[in-house]
Structure 1
Amino acid sequence: MHSSGLPGRGGSVLIFLILLMVAPVVGAQKLPDFTGIVEEHGPSVVNISTTQKTPAEGTGRVPPQFEGTPFEDFFKRFFGEQGPQPERETQSLGSGVIISADGYIVTNAHVVKNASEIVVQLTDRRQMEAELVGRDATIDIALLKVDADNLPTAQMGDPEEVSVGEWVVAIGSPFGFENSVTAGIVSAKGRSLPSDNYTNFIQTDVAVNPGNSGGPLFNLDGEVVGINAQIYSKSGGFMGLSFAIPIDVAMDAVDQIKEHGEVRRGWLGVYIQDVSSDLAESFGMDKPTGALVARVIEGGPADKAGLQSGDVVIAVDGEEIRTAGDLPPKIGQLKPGSEATLTVVREGEERRISVTVGARDERQMAADEETGPSKVLGMQVRPVPADIRKELGLPADRGVQVTEVVGGAAASAGVRKGDVILKLANRAVTGPKQLAELVEGLPSGRVTPMLVRRGEGALFLPIQIP
C-alpha cells in the first residue's frame, strides 16, 4: 500500500507510455500539411520558357578580355574599329500563375524581358505559346495571355491579412525543376529594397531560386498572397531571404494593363532619403522617422505645391510614413490628378501641404535618373560631375561616379565611394540608367569584371550579379 497517494511503479510506467504515444501526435498537429494546397492549387502554376535575342558580347575585332586594357588600342590599330554585332539567342526559365480560366497569366516582368518567344507549360504537360499583353518593369509584373479555355485558376488572397510568422508555400520551377514546392514562414512585411521604390515586399524564408521568379506564394488557405520576385544572395542561390510582391499590388498593375495597356501611377517629383538620428536632431524632431526630401524636381507636383528640400514627409493623407521606402508606394497607388495631403516637418514645425499628384512619365523619369542619383548593386551612383570629368579627361558620355556604398555586391567587390565606373562586363558605362540596364541584362550569380577609375589609377574589380 502506498500511503503517499502517488501511483506505484506500474502506474508510472503506464503514464509514461501514454505520454510517449501522445507527444508525437501533439507535436505533429503543430506542423501544417501542404498536400491539399498542392493538389488543389498546384495546377494553376505554370512553367514559362522564353527565348531572347541579345547582341553578342565584345566590341567587334577587340577580344573582350583585352577591352579596357592598353592592348585595346593595339587591336583597333591593326584590325580596325568594331563592326555590326551579330545577335545570339538565349533561353531563360521562370514561373507564373493562371488568374483566369480564359488564359490570363501573371509573372515577373524580368522573366519575359526582351523575349521573342514565350512558351507556357501546364502541369498536364500541355504547351502553349503566350502573348505578352503588357509589363510594368517598375514593380516587376507582366501579364500574359494564352489561347485556351477552362484552365485551372488560383484564388487571390489579402496580403493585409498575412501575419509575420505564419506559414506560406511557394510553387515554381527553380533551375527548371517543374512544379517544385517549398515552404517557410513570413519573415517580415512592408520590406523595401534599394532597387525597388514602388513595392513593399513580403519577406519570407521560403526557398526561392532562379526559375521561381513569377510563381505564386500561397497562404494555408490556398490563396495567393504574393508573386515571388527576388532573393538576397551572395552566392546566386537561396540564402534564407526571399521577397514576394504583394498580390494586391500585382493585381492593380494587371487591371491597369488590361484597361490602359500600361500602368499609370502617382508621382511626386522628389528624391528622398531616410532620416538618421543625427538628422532628426538637427531638424528638431523627437525621433528619426519619415522621408527626407533631398531634392525637388523643378516643375514637378511637389515643386508646384511648395515642397522644399529639407522637408521631412511624415504622413500622406493621415497615414504614417516611417521610412523613405514607405513614401513611393503610397504615392504610386494614388491616381494621377488626385489631391493628397502631406504632413511635413519644416524647421521643427509640422505643416500640411496639399499636392496634386502627377503622373509618372517613364520618359521623364528616365531623363531625371540620368541627372539624379540612382541605386544599383548596393551602391548609389550619379553622372560624373563636370569638374571631375575634366580632371580625368573623360568624354561627356562615359562613366558614373559612386557616391555611396551601402552593401551588397558593390561592398563585397571592394567598390569605394568616389570610384568612377567606366565599364561593366566589358561594355562602356554611359549613365546611371544604362548601368542599371546592363546589370539587369546579365545572368544572376555571374561574376563579371568592372573597370573603375580610382584617383590616378584604374583597376578591374570582380563583382557578382545578384
Structure 2
Amino acid sequence: MYLKMKVKHLGFAMLAWIALVMSSAVSAASLPDFTELVEESAPAVVNISTVQAEKPQDSAAFGGRDMDEIPEMFRHFFRNLPEFNSQPRRAPESLGSGFIISEDGYILTNNHVVKGAEKVLVRLNDRRELEAEIVGTDARSDVALLKIDAQDLPVVSIGKTRDLKVGEWVLAIGSPFGFDHTVTAGIVSAKERALANETYVPFIQTDVAINPGNSGGPLFNLDGEVVGINSQIYTRSGGFMGLSFAIPIDVAMDVADQLKQQGHVSRGWLGVIIQEVNRDLAESFGLAKPAGALVAKVLPDSPAQSAGVLEGDVIISFDGRPITLSSDLPHMVGRVKPGAEVEMTVMRGGEQEKLNVVVGLLPEGEPDLGIETVQEPASMDLLGLTVEPLTDAHREKWNVRSGVIVVGVAEGAGANAGVVSGDVITMLNGKQIQTVEQFAEVVADLPTDRSVPMRIVRRGSPLFIPLKLSE
C-alpha cells in the first residue's frame, strides 16, 4: 500500500514537472528570436565619431599669462592645469551611430550627432574607418545624410512606419558609450508621440534601452526592416529610464531624398498658432469632446488667412485625417508639398465648415504682423478685471494689433479663469475686442449657464482660456 502511494505521488510529481517544462517551452516559443535579424542587419550599422571645432583657450583667470611668465619656483603648481598644459589639447569628440541606405555609401544618422563637426569618421562593420562628407542636415527633424567613398556596401531594408503596431517587438543596434554593435530589444509603446519643441516629427515611443551613442542608429521590426532612427530618451538621471523615441523612417527618408536632391528640406506651412483643446474649452466652443487644434492666432498673409481660417476656429480634420491632439496638425501640414491644395474641416460657432487651403512653404521666420493704434480710457468690468486700451508700445512689445490690456485683477470670474495683470484680451465669446467700451458690452451680454472662450496674449503668446460667470 505504501509503495502504491509512493508511486502515485511520484506520478503526480512527474506530471507536474512535465507540465512545467511544457509551459516554459511554450513561453520560450512565444518570445522572438533576434539572432537571424542581427546577423543579416548588423553589417549595415556603423559607428560615427566626430571631431568638433576646438574652442580657443581662455586663461583670463590667470591674467592671460603664459607658463614662461610664471616664476620658475611656482610653475609646478600650474603644470597640470589646462590653461598652462604644454601638451596640445585634443579637440572634443562625440560618438553616435548610423546605418547605410545605399550600396554607394549614403548613411543616415541624427543631426545632433554631426552638428558642429569639423571631421566625421565612419567605422564600418569590417573595421574600416572612412571620412564622411555631410551631404545635408535638417535640424527640425534631427536627420543628417552622410556620404562615404565606398562601393558594394551592405544596406538595411527600409520598412513602413504606418504598418507599425503598438505592442509589437522592435530591436535597436548602435554604439552606446562606444560599445559597437550593441543590440537591445523592446516593444513599441506608442506612435505619433509629440515632444516639446519637436513640432514636425511624430515620434515612435519604445521601451528599447537607448543610451548616449545609440543616437542615429536604426530601429528594426521583426522582419528586419528599419522603421525608425533612435533619437532621444526621456530621463531624470541622464541614463535610460524606459522611455525612448525614434524618428519614423518614412519621415527620415523623405528628408534624406530632399537633402540629396536640393540640399535642404521644404515643408508645408499653414500659418496658424494653435493650442490644445481641454474639457472646459471644448464646452465653451460647443464641442462634444476635447479634440482638434484650436487656432489661437492666424498669421497675416498666410495660407490660413487666404483660406478664411479665423481665430477661434477648431481644426478637426486635415486632408481627410482627424485631428485628435493639436500636436497632430503640424507634422501633417509639414509633410504636404508646398503649393498643394488640401481640404480641412473646422468647428466654427458650433457648426462644421469645410475650407480649402493652398499649403505654403514654411518660412525661416515669422512675417511682420503689423501694428494699429487705438486710445481710450481705463475701465473696471463685471469680471473683476481692470482694463486699459493698448498703446503703441504694447502692440510692438507683444506683437498684437487690437485688444485691451489687463492692469488689475480682483476677485471674480476673470481671476477664476486664470487671467493675470499684463494679459491682452483680444477676443471674448467669439467677438474680436477692439476697444474698452466694446469689451464692456461683450461682458454684459455673457451667458451665465456655460463657459465661453476668451483669447488672451500673454507675454507674446496667444492662448484661449474658458471663462464662466457666476450665476
> Which residue number in structure 2 is paired with residue 151 of structure 1?
153
Alpha-carbon distance in 2 for matches of 1:56, 1:98: 35
> Which residue number in structure 1 is paired with residue 446 of structure 2?
none
Amino acid at match of 1:257: L
Give the one of 121, 124, 128 matched to 1:122.
124
Task: Determine helix, strand or coil for the equivalent of 1:233.
Answer: coil
> Which residue number in structure 2 is paired with residue 316 of structure 1?
318
> Which residue number in structure 2 is paired with residue 37 of structure 1?
37
Task: Determine helix, strand or coil for the equivalent of 1:250.
Answer: helix
Alpha-carbon distance in 1 for matches of 2:177, 2:396: 43
User: Are the counterparts in 2 of residues 98 and 106 from structure 1 also a CA contact under 8 Å?
Assistant: yes
> Which residue number in structure 2 is paired with residue 226 of structure 1?
228
> Which residue number in structure 2 is paired with residue 273 of structure 1?
275
Structure 2 spans left out of the alignment, 5+ residues: 2-6, 64-88, 370-391, 398-419, 422-471
Q: CA RMSD in A?
A: 2.9
Task: Determine helix, strand or coil for the equivalent of 2:232.
Answer: strand
Alpha-carbon distance in 2 for matches of 1:57, 1:291: 49
Deviation string, structure 1 residues 74-119 (Cα, Å, up to 9, x no partner): xxxxxxxxxxxxx993211111010011100000111111211100
User: Are the counterparts in 2 of residues 204 and 241 from structure 1 also a CA contact under 8 Å?
Assistant: yes
> Which residue number in structure 2 is paired with residue 412 of structure 1?
none
Alpha-carbon distance in 2 for matches of 1:357, 1:128: 42
Alpha-carbon distance in 1 for matches of 2:43, 2:33: 18
> Which residue number in structure 2 is paired with residue 93 of structure 1?
95
Q: CA deviation at 1:10?
A: 5.0
Structure 1 spans left out of the alignment, 5+ residues: 2-6, 64-86, 370-384, 391-416, 419-466
Alpha-carbon distance in 1 for matches of 2:368, 2:116: 24
Alpha-carbon distance in 2 for matches of 1:128, 1:247: 25
- Number of residues of Structure 1 aligned to a counterpart in Structure 2: 348
Amino acid at match of 1:354: N
Alpha-carbon distance in 1 for matches of 2:358, 2:346: 16
* 1:282 partnered with 2:313: no
Change in Cα spacing, 1:61 to 1:21, as seen in structure 2 (3 Å) is closer
Amino acid at match of 2:25: V
Alpha-carbon distance in 1 for matches of 2:112, 2:21: 51
Q: CA deviation at 1:148?
A: 0.1
Which runs of structure 2 are paired with 1:362-381 in the superposition (5 Å)?
362=364, 364-365=365-366
Task: Determine helix, strand or coil for the equivalent of 1:130.
Answer: strand
> Which residue number in structure 1 is paired with residue 51 of structure 2?
51
Task: Determine helix, strand or coil for the equivalent of 1:89.
Answer: coil
Task: Determine helix, strand or coil for the equivalent of 1:27.
Answer: helix
Alpha-carbon distance in 2 for matches of 1:202, 1:56: 40
Q: CA deviation at 1:62?
A: 11
> Which residue number in structure 1 is paired with residue 331 of structure 2?
329
> Which residue number in structure 1 is paired with residue 262 of structure 2?
260
> Which residue number in structure 2 is paired with residue 84 of structure 1?
none
User: Are the counterparts in 2 of residues 165 and 186 from structure 1 also a CA contact under 8 Å?
Assistant: yes
> Which residue number in structure 2 is paired with residue 18 of structure 1?
18
Over the matched positions of the two proteins, sequence identity in percent amounts to: 57
> Which residue number in structure 1 is paired with residue 187 of structure 2?
185
Q: CA deviation at 1:269?
A: 0.9
User: Are the counterparts in 2 of residues 53 and 88 from structure 1 also a CA contact under 8 Å?
Assistant: no
TM-score by length of 2: 0.69
Deviation string, structure 1 residues 100-150 (Cα, Å, up to 9, x no partner): 111000001111112111000012111000001111111111100000001
Amino acid at match of 1:35: T
Alpha-carbon distance in 1 for matches of 2:393, 2:91: 39
